[in-house]
Structure 1
Amino acid sequence: MELARRFFLQQVARVTAGAALVPLSTVANAGINDQPPRRGGDPKKRYAMLIDLRRCIGCQACTVSCHIENQAPLGKFRTIVSQYEVESLESGNAVQFMLPRLCNHCDNPPCVPVCPVQATYQQEDGIVLVDSDRCVGCAYCVQACPYDARFINDRTQTADKCTFCAHRLEAGLLPACVESCVGGARIIGDLNDPGSQISKMVEEYRGELMVLQPEKNTVPHVFYLGMDERFIDRPSAAPELWEIRDGEGQELGYEYAEH
């Protein structure tokens, strides 16, 4: 846990160069209501994911496997890979940039305190979950998430999102997206275990890792290696449009347009 917090403070410093860092206790509460007590999960663990963008080829295997594993409704995804065409800072040529997106399982998740029925909650191991039996579908958490990682499930009428495939982790399996990644770009593990692959990579690449929107003070636990700094905030680049149609061939819209 402390390893991740130190990394987060480095990210804040990167964004707010020259500004004095406030104490961690202040950062944890900045602009966000008090967090309810965490419940469930192993308190000895802190799960996080590291995405090596140098290995991501944009094949969408993670998107498809997650969709099948978690039976998301048509046109809704718990994880996606947004694809952008950007100008290379080195050559000036147009290049493809892949940006996998999912719930960041923040250490200070803004989605949790806004839930009026405590359906959205955080486990002791850091994983943020939704109790579908409690959720009333008010979408407060959807609006509170700065990463566009939540949606209202059309079938259940409750909030839906990435769970790090907590049901698979409990069974000793990898999340569907990690298992299906052909390039080995997604690494998940316990930050509290210094021997885990993710802990070793965080330590090795500490100066190169980035998180999305660190200035939001959410302490994200999805780290990116090989990130274009222009994308730590909402990029000004226009995403490529993917045409989505239903089983009858009717156009549903363009996925990724809002990412």
Structure 2
Amino acid sequence: MDRSRRNFCLGAGAATIGAATVGAMPAAAAPSGASLRREGDPAHRWAMVVDARKCVGCQACTVACIMENDVPENSFRTIVSTYEVTEQGKAGSYMLPRLCNHCEDPPCIPVCPTGATFQRRDGIVVVDNTVCVGCAYCVQACPYDARFINHETQTADKCTFCVHRVEAGLLPACVETCVGGARIFGDLNDPDSAVATLVREENPKVLKPEQGTQPRVFYLGLDPRFQGKVDGTPTLWRPSSKTHARKEHA
């Protein structure tokens, strides 16, 4: 059992096994720009460390996320953006895994007019699509280009850290399938977890620190040239109709 899985399983024992979907909140009860945390266990603060040095750009994480969360065609909740770079006259590539940063101070929440986007007490930022009206304010507010309007549901969509798996004591699908062990998930509130140890000892970086959002996705080995490059990133691979055809026949 790898370190991420071992530490997560130890830390998730107190997590409550829950449903795969976020419980609905009546629209009438959702104040404009609601920021009050609800749901989730406040004893935990879930986070992810991405080791960019280990990412090989295989996109297993992207495909696993599509399969697990029924992500519609031409959209993604997580992806590895691949950059073409040239160093000392030699061409190469740089891999930047991307997903919702589940910020401590998420800018997507105060702009939501219905309270559909909210932060759980365990820090996971989610969307209640029974309340979302698809206005896309949150999509525009996210500095990490990590949200989209689901063209099938016409509501905002994004990474949830696979909250339904986390509540069942499992790792997010992208972590479970990462062949290089580049994604490590766990509880920041557990000082002995792999995530807490790496954040404490390895001085990881975050994307766009100047935004002041306090992301809870941290990066090891992040090239400073790419620390702020998440808008309109060029990729050599994107989800295709073939990917979704495999999902439908799985």
TM-score bracket, normalised by the shorter chain, equals: 0.7 to 0.9
1:217: which partner in 2? 212
TM-score by length of 2: 0.80
Query: 2:226 maps to what in 1?
Result: 231
Instruction: Go from structure 1 to structure 2 and tell me whether the alpha carbon gap of 1:201 and 1:85 turns closer, same or farther (over 3 Å shift).
Output: same
* 1:86 is the counterpart of 2:81: no
Of structures 1 and 2, the one scoring higher in RCO (CA 8 A, sep 6+) is 2
Q: Within 5 Å, give how 1:152-191 maps onto structure 2.
A: 152-191=149-188
Matches within 5 A, 1:113-192: 113-192=110-189
Secondary structure at 1:67's aligned position in 2? helix
Return closer, same or farther for 1:133/1:237 CA change in 2, 3 Å cut-off. Answer: closer
Alpha-carbon separation, structure 1, partners of 2:187 and 2:68: 22
1:234, CA displacement in angstroms? Answer: 2.1
| SS across alignment from 1:178 | helix
Once residues 130 and 206 of structure 2 are traced to their aligned partners in structure 1, the CA distance between those partners, rounded to angstroms, is: 32
Aligned to 2:191: 194
CA distance in 1, matches of 2:116, 2:233: 35
- Aligned CA RMSD, in angstroms, stands at 2.0
* Aligned length, in residue pairs: 211
Residues 34 and 244 of structure 1, relative CA distance in 2, 3 Å threshold: closer
- Runs of 5+ in structure 1 lacking a partner? 1-32, 248-259
Quote how far apart the aligned CAs of 1:36 are: 1.7
Please say if residues 52 and 185 of structure 1, whose CA atoms lie closer than 8 Å, have aligned partners that are also in contact. Answer: yes
Q: TM-score, normalised by structure 1?
A: 0.77
CA distance in 2, matches of 1:237, 1:95: 20
Change (3 A) 1:234 1:128: same
Give the Cα–Cα distance (whole angstroms) in 2 for the partners of residues 159 and 183 of structure 1. Answer: 30
Stretches of structure 2 lacking an aligned partner (at least 5 in a row): 1-31, 243-250
Supply the distance in 2 between the matched residues of 1:228 and 1:107 (Cα, whole angstroms). 23
- Once residues 40 and 220 of structure 1 are traced to their aligned partners in structure 2, the CA distance between those partners, rounded to angstroms, is 20
Q: Which amino acid aligns with 1:120?
A: T
Q: CA deviation at 1:85?
A: 1.1
1:201 partner SS: helix
Q: Which residue of 1 aligns with 2:10?
A: none
Measure, in 2, the Cα distance between the counterparts of 1:205 and 1:240.
28
- 1:64 alignment partner, SS class: helix
Residues 13-46 of structure 1 deviation map (CA, whole Å, 9 limit, x = unaligned): xxxxxxxxxxxxxxxxxxxx98621111111111
Q: CA shift at 1:202, angstroms?
A: 1.2
- Whether contact under 8 Å (2:74, 2:238) holds in the other structure is no
Which residue is equivalent to 1:65?
64
User: Taking every aligned residue pair, what percent have the same amino acid on both sides?
Assistant: 63
